[in-house]
Structure 1
């Protein structure tokens, strides 16, 4: 395949990972509809709410768009209403409301009634009870849907696991926090998306056995904001007992802009948002916001990925989330629980593509210095001393290293350290593979690059990996599946992989897989250890 053709093909599935203008390649594409099979030959399962009919394909049985809860605006989820007869479960449900990454183009149908779950089950299970892996999608807490991750077929079929992917609310629909909403909901506020995830986990607990799953063997895994969602569940007292293991991919539990803020910070962010929509009076603003149409609620720069400083995240409301994930891990919230924590070698490349190149700008030394001072404040001097533009080929390269090290690599290090202090068993990795041919826009192991090594297709499109990359993909899937079965990710391809040693990571690439002990030095984590909050 010529390089130009390969790049075009890869750009299509990358649209489900990248969160803004890079997703333009998907603008002309809607999620692929699955052909309707003969309903009489398809499996029927009884779950909470009624019976559902799935569909067999590629050695996997899919049950798509199954309601697990019902959403009310700015309120915790409620039980989903039952349905009569047998409900076809052969198409994804609508995504939760969100701004399109491609202005003016809806990539898939959207509705506030969006709390559905997709399940992928081996057609020929090797055991009567299989582990369940629950994927929480990324998207900076403003984007994402389960339809984007619509084929974990090889992971499911060969790994003999069940994969479940729930939708959850994002943006203000998931994380608006106001004191009057807290008063309505027993103190819970700014955590509706987090509660959606917990409702899905409870649904899985109650229904896993119907699919041949083990409700006592549930692995949470997710990437980016999905990784932080995993972290938030680890920190939430109301999620205890709903999972047994966790994998955090490029979404650390420590010192991230996505870390749950205090209610004071969240209240101010939400009040500013409400004021911007003409709902400024505290006495009426929740009612004012509730009657606005969805498009008006999304008519705010806060609902788009415009900066590394974000507005919408889960909130430390004292009810659903009672502490930061870093403190919770350090305090023993996941004592004895197996964790995999990892990051990619060139995470920052994605954000240069989204926040600079997609807007037609290339960072200069002046711009880089201004960006660092604006984002890091009193810490900017130390940062610029460690990452001077003069030490890199370009100012863009310096900015990419800051983004990689400060927002992902060292937070992953701090996550692992906190979890170990709290008694968790932690395996660490660094993903080093470049899924794209050499190019100036998305080089190396950029943020999101490992996702197509876990899934077989994204947004209904097969993933065009080279034969060497496909072998690495298969090995990652085998490791993730073994972890789900046993709590240990070490496989013949990934050995030795120790869960001892604060700085030991398993480097994952097509040309090399093996342990390394230089991660902290490589990413200047001594500097970042002195910066309490990044972004």
Structure 2
């Protein structure tokens, strides 16, 4: 017998029954596209198949193929079972609601190679308790999500290489068509993401295919690495096939490769943590779109963390070595950088700050200026809070990804933070989540101040202001004008030529 309190909704594909988590209704594992398996591998996602009767939506789906150990160490938890049949999403909605609520659609990070929408830090319960509807999704990862090869050319009417981004667009189409039955407002959708998820948000802000599918965007720790050119992606695809024993590969041979063969691959056969420029999703590189201020004109929040360089070791970057390379090859440039970082001692520390700002901080400045040029509001932040018990661990500030459990207000319910959080940590986390929900509910071209412990104004023409979320690792919110302006101006000029993983 069905639990009479279990929530039932009727989507366009069929009826779903979820479960109740205290005062929030939850539906997990909802298909938003057909399984991209067999002949549908490396094709644009197809519409989901309808079903008869009542479909159980009480457990998370399988995740896209990935490295489980890597995800548990760096990606937010155990991604569970893997399958190419992974295009599912999850919804959290308040059990009691009267009017259509703002919708927040989350794109997880993980370098486009790890992660899943059902990982513990991304639980939407605490945000839904603030009267929003939260959606998290899975999308294809690694070579299953980004791939180019001559054998696949001409199979569709349009050129497609960014299958993962098309998955995200398919999820947004599903949200537009179905979210009203979950209590959400299809006319107020905020797309937000961190790291590769943030890079996805930026890509969709630049994509002609995304127009009208979301109304606001939050970019957490997006990075300035250039997109992979289509020609280079095709060359890499041929080289990868040859590496796997398929010279002059056919499409059928490529699709017959078992998915697990892609995950032990290392450079040069792994994918870049960037999309591919030159297909229907990204006809031109994302950065070029923002430099030309041709992005979709929606309100944007963007920011990064105080120790983003913590992720550099994952990509094999020697922080001190970057400064030593400057000393050998560009002594004038090194002298200029030292002027911009007065009092910073040692190559390691200078490299940490320079790499952080070139790869992460500068992007907020670039997006702010692009928003100012089109007259759209932009809220900027700098996250620098560290849980009270962890100051000795996070010596240089908030690591890449550390803001996520604060944004979701999940700090007290996920490992390992639940073991050491204090009441003050939890209070600060709640305040951060309140700002994100305030953006989703109120941000607009007219409403350009977010209210909270500190009223947070958007950057408009001739206004360059940033909110420090955490001050020197401690609780606090403080506005700062022209944040790192001299550094940002320099790095904006050179980032297109000198930001890489080489």
Q: What is the TM-score of this pair, normalised by structure 1?
A: 0.81
Aligned to 2:262: 297
For the pair 1:219 / 2:179, whether they are aligned, the reply is no
1:344–1:418 distance in 2 versus 1, CA, 3 Å: same
The answer to whether the 8 Å contact 2:23/2:94 transfers is yes
Aligned to 2:450: 490
For the pair 1:461 / 2:414, whether they are aligned, the reply is yes
For the pair 1:403 / 2:355, whether they are aligned, the reply is yes
Aligned to 1:18: none
Using the alignment, how far apart are the partners of 1:238 and 1:210 within structure 2? 25
Aligned to 1:52: 16
The answer to whether the 8 Å contact 1:96/1:110 transfers is yes
Per the alignment, in what secondary structure is the counterpart of residue 532 of structure 1? helix
Superposed displacement of residue 334, structure 1: 4.3
Q: Deviations over 1:315-337 (max 9, x none)?
A: 22341212222333454544542
Aligned to 2:168: 197
Superposed displacement of residue 505, structure 1: 0.7
**Which is worse superposed, 390-399 or 41-50?**
390-399
Aligned to 2:286: 325
Using the alignment, how far apart are the partners of 1:77 and 1:48 within structure 2? 17
The answer to whether the 8 Å contact 1:503/1:520 transfers is no
Q: What is the TM-score of this pair, normalised by structure 2?
A: 0.86
Using the alignment, how far apart are the partners of 1:216 and 1:83 within structure 2? 27
Per the alignment, in what secondary structure is the counterpart of residue 279 of structure 1? coil
Aligned with 1:112 (options 70, 79, 84): 84
Using the alignment, how far apart are the partners of 2:126 and 2:362 within structure 1? 32
Superposed displacement of residue 152, structure 1: 2.3
The answer to whether the 8 Å contact 1:344/1:447 transfers is yes
Using the alignment, how far apart are the partners of 2:211 and 2:229 within structure 1? 21
Aligned to 2:305: 344
The answer to whether the 8 Å contact 1:132/1:161 transfers is yes
Aligned with 1:449 (options 371, 384, 402): 402
The unaligned stretches of length 5 or more in structure 1 are 1-36, 357-361
Superposed displacement of residue 227, structure 1: 0.5
Superposed displacement of residue 421, structure 1: 1.7
The answer to whether the 8 Å contact 2:216/2:440 transfers is yes
**Which is worse superposed, 45-54 or 318-327?**
318-327
Per the alignment, in what secondary structure is the counterpart of residue 16 of structure 2? strand
Per the alignment, in what secondary structure is the counterpart of residue 227 of structure 2? coil
Superposed displacement of residue 379, structure 1: 6.6
Per the alignment, in what secondary structure is the counterpart of residue 248 of structure 1? strand
1:249–1:102 distance in 2 versus 1, CA, 3 Å: closer
Aligned with 2:50 (options 71, 82, 90): 82
Q: Deviations over 1:289-319 (max 9, x none)?
A: 21111111223115999xxxx6253222341
Q: Deviations over 1:36-57 (max 9, x none)?
A: x963320111113211111111
Aligned with 2:464 (options 497, 500, 503): 503
Superposed displacement of residue 412, structure 1: 1.8
Aligned to 1:271: 238
Superposed displacement of residue 116, structure 1: 0.2
The answer to whether the 8 Å contact 1:433/1:445 transfers is yes
For the pair 1:382 / 2:333, whether they are aligned, the reply is yes
Q: Deviations over 1:67-109 (max 9, x none)?
A: 1102221111111222332111111101111123449997510
RMSD over equivalenced CA pairs, Å: 3.1
Q: Deviations over 1:14-33 (max 9, x none)?
A: xxxxxxxxxxxxxxxxxxxx
1:152–1:247 distance in 2 versus 1, CA, 3 Å: same
Aligned with 1:170 (options 134, 141, 151): 141
Superposed displacement of residue 460, structure 1: 7.2
1:349–1:104 distance in 2 versus 1, CA, 3 Å: closer
1:379–1:475 distance in 2 versus 1, CA, 3 Å: farther
Q: Deviations over 1:234-286 (max 9, x none)?
A: 1111111101111111115xxx22x43321122223223222222232xx243
Q: Number of aligned residue pairs: give it.
A: 477
Using the alignment, how far apart are the partners of 1:447 and 1:379 within structure 2? 29
The answer to whether the 8 Å contact 1:277/1:297 transfers is no
Moved runs in structure 1, 4+ residues, more than 6 A?
A: 103-106, 376-381, 388-391
Per the alignment, in what secondary structure is the counterpart of residue 228 of structure 2? coil
Using the alignment, how far apart are the partners of 1:203 and 1:217 within structure 2? 14
Matches within 5 A, 1:14-33: none
Aligned to 2:364: 412
Superposed displacement of residue 147, structure 1: 1.3
Per the alignment, in what secondary structure is the counterpart of residue 117 of structure 1? strand
1:169–1:57 distance in 2 versus 1, CA, 3 Å: same
1:173–1:69 distance in 2 versus 1, CA, 3 Å: same
Matches within 5 A, 1:252-263: 252=223, 256-257=224-225, 259-263=226-230
Per the alignment, in what secondary structure is the counterpart of residue 104 of structure 2? strand
For the pair 1:314 / 2:279, whether they are aligned, the reply is no
Superposed displacement of residue 402, structure 1: 2.5
The answer to whether the 8 Å contact 1:335/1:424 transfers is no
User: Using CA pairs below 8 Å that are at least 6 residues apart, which structure has the higher relative contact order?
Assistant: 1
The answer to whether the 8 Å contact 2:198/2:222 transfers is yes
Using the alignment, how far apart are the partners of 1:295 and 1:44 within structure 2? 36
The answer to whether the 8 Å contact 2:64/2:86 transfers is yes
The answer to whether the 8 Å contact 1:61/1:121 transfers is yes
Superposed displacement of residue 519, structure 1: 1.9
Aligned to 1:248: 219
